[in-house]
Chain A
């Protein structure tokens, strides 16, 4: 019987995986589908000088924002970081590096990295500052920019449901970057809201096959916050 992928806590799920200066991919879009419990465990570990690949940087007191407060992040690779005042302060003080990637380029770099594709060409950013210092090539009369695949020492992600094999299902727009980051991490740790025995998820409904998931934690409670609460009046 294979070694169990189930760990009793986020701290134990990350044990032996963290070291200063490493690169971590962190799933989510805004505060939706972020591995919040794993981020808290990384904060508690005190690991530092991290390069973090994530579409956003959380807000001041939630998501990756809590690792900015403790200055554990050295560099962010992101597409948009607008909701975080701590980020702006550290960046303007020269304490934090940022590499902006167009969102689709970031997603494709991660997908490619996980799929063993070292580089690809995209129209995105051709003729802009994003193309500076990168190889450009013409295909079918149009200019394309070469972008590199991206991998990480560790990916931390959020899924709605896992089985004990690590097969994952996501819930609505909380899917976002999580499935591709699962593929691009040398080790991938997932936090889940529900954990079931292997065989309990219809194989046709699995989004991330368990091969991409090494460790699973099923916390008692996952706090899910709403960044922009927008509603309409009842008729």
Chain B
């Protein structure tokens, strides 16, 4: 059985370590905030100029001056700081944020990532995604394994790139891939999902980690 969105977010949560500064993208990655493992403390960064992002406010306590990069109303924490956009991206480009968890349209076996533009459709812009993947040392992609029945993990991205050779880990509803350079390794698989199913839904070649081979008897 494939993982649910919350189970995918929980799997991504395992990538967090105590003391990390973390940037979460829009969509499924947002759910990772609900799955910080017990006993560890992290600070969430928001590109629009906030570190230490708190939960959504109670109804009636929304403040138009207090939003996240998704333009949603949020709250402050005792650890919160505010800063301008150049400082915000100095944190990102300067490698001060330890991990970026974001969505993708396509990922290639060499770590290329495409998540901002589809030729022929109205392009909305890349926002901060290109800076995040270029500057953050560990980039985790959290996405559905396929889109409309089509593979998203490819030999080569067909869509315009957000970053070249930038992805470190891919978590989908079916499994988890490590991206070494070169090549993908499947390191985890959702319950009752078979290796054959993953192979049929993945265009890129990949190896299977020895520990996982043992576990699934492949």
Contacts and interface: CB of A to CB of B under 8 A. Distances in A.
Given A230-B73, A232-B58, A177 B124 contact: no
A102 B117 CA distance: 13
Contacts of A55: 85
Contacts of B134: 122-126
Interface string A195-235: 00000000000010000000000000000111111111110
B57 interface: yes
A81 B127 CA distance: 9
Contacts of B161: 127-129
B193 to A, nearest CB: 33
Interface in A10-50: 29-33
Given A107-B89, A180-B86, A230-B56, A80 B124 contact: yes
B27 interface: no
A155 interface: no
A118 interface: no
The residue among A105, A108, A175 with the most chain B CB atoms within 10 A of its own CB is A175
Contacts of A102: 126-131
Interface residues of B, number: 52
A213 B89 CA distance: 24
Contact of B86 (A88, A110, A126, A170): A110
A29 B49 contact: yes
Interface in A70-123: 78-83, 88, 91-92, 100, 102-108, 110-111, 122-123
B163 interface: yes
B71 A100 contact: no
B64 A225 contact: yes
A229 B83 contact: no
Contacts of B164: 126-128
B49 A175 contact: yes
A114 to B, nearest CB: 9
Contacts of B57: 231-232
A68 to B, nearest CB: 14
B135 A123 contact: yes
Contacts of A128: 130, 160-164
Contacts of A174: 64-65
A56 to B, nearest CB: 8
A78 B125 contact: yes
B93 interface: yes
A65 interface: no
A112 to B, nearest CB: 9
A229 B88 contact: no
B84 A176 contact: yes
Contact of A173 (B49, B128, B130): B49
Contacts of A231: 56-59, 61-62, 73
B130 A125 contact: yes
A164 B165 CA distance: 51
A91 B130 CA distance: 23
Contacts of A108: 86, 89, 93
Interface string B40-84: 000000111110000111110111111111111110100000111
Contacts of A171: 65
Contacts of B127: 79-80, 102-103
Contact of B135 (A79, A124, A232): A124
21 contacts: A31-B64, A55-B85, A78-B125, A79-B127, A82-B125, A100-B125, A102-B131, A103-B126, A104-B130, A107-B89, A122-B93, A122-B134, A124-B130, A126-B164, A128-B161, A130-B130, A173-B46, A175-B49, A226-B67, A230-B74, A231-B56
Q: Which 4 A-B pairs have the closest CB atoms?
A: A127-B164, A104-B89, A104-B131, A82-B124
Given A127-B164, A128-B160, A226-B73, 16 more contacts: A55-B85, A78-B125, A106-B85, A108-B93, A122-B93, A124-B130, A128-B163, A171-B65, A174-B65, A175-B82, A175-B83, A176-B48, A177-B85, A226-B62, A230-B72, A232-B56
